[in-house]
Amino acid sequence: RKEVEQDPGPFNVPEGATVAFNCTYSNSASQSFFWYRQDCRKEPKLLMSVYSSGNEDGRFTAQLNRASQYISLLIRDSKLSDSATYLCVVPPTDSWGKLQFGAGTQVVVTP
């Protein structure tokens, strides 16, 4: 089993709709998590961090389910500009700093 797994999608979402997708992780000791956004042919950029049960930033909500070892990202009122690949990232539990990246979930928002 991969350490971080994501549904690759694509999730095709009408503009204005809500979309949600999950990321499962294998290391039960992981304490914090991140969602990065990557636009086509660009570098990944931090979208939001998840340190406890969840986090909300505007139209974006991340939730953590420790019992089932997954985190989710929900996007409300989708905009065309939300079209991107969303990477789930699990930090290391040691101090050596090797992040574990999921392969990403592609979201396509259509007019």
Partner 1 sequence: NAGVTQTPKFRVLKTGQSMTLLCAQDMNHEYMYWYRQDPGMGLRLIHYSVGEGTTAKGEVPDGYNVSRLKKQNFLLGLESAAPSQTSVYFCASREGHRETQYFGPGTRLLVL
Our finding on whether 49 is near partner 1 (CB under 8 A) is yes
Assess 23 for contact with partner 1 (CB under 8 A): no
Find the binding residues for partner 1 in span 85-104 (CB under 8 A): 87, 91, 96-99, 101-104
Residue with token string 């505007």: 58
**Residues 6 or more apart whose Cβ sits within 8 Å of residue 36:** 44, 45, 46, 47, 86, 87, 89, 101
* Nearer of residues 42 and 79 to partner 1, judged by Cβ: 42
Q: Which is nearer to partner 1, 22 or 76 (CB)?
A: 22
Residue from 14, 42, 77, 80 that binds partner 1 (CB under 8 A)?
42
How many CB atoms are located within 10 Å of the residue 4 CB? 22
User: Closest separation between CB of residue 104 and partner 1, Å?
Assistant: 6
CA angle 5, 8, 22 (to 5 degrees): 55
Residue that the structure tokens 């570098």 belong to: 43
- Told to check if 59 binds partner 1 by CB under 8 A, we report no
Residues that bind partner 1 (CB under 8 A): 8, 32, 34, 41-46, 49, 87, 91, 96-99, 101-104
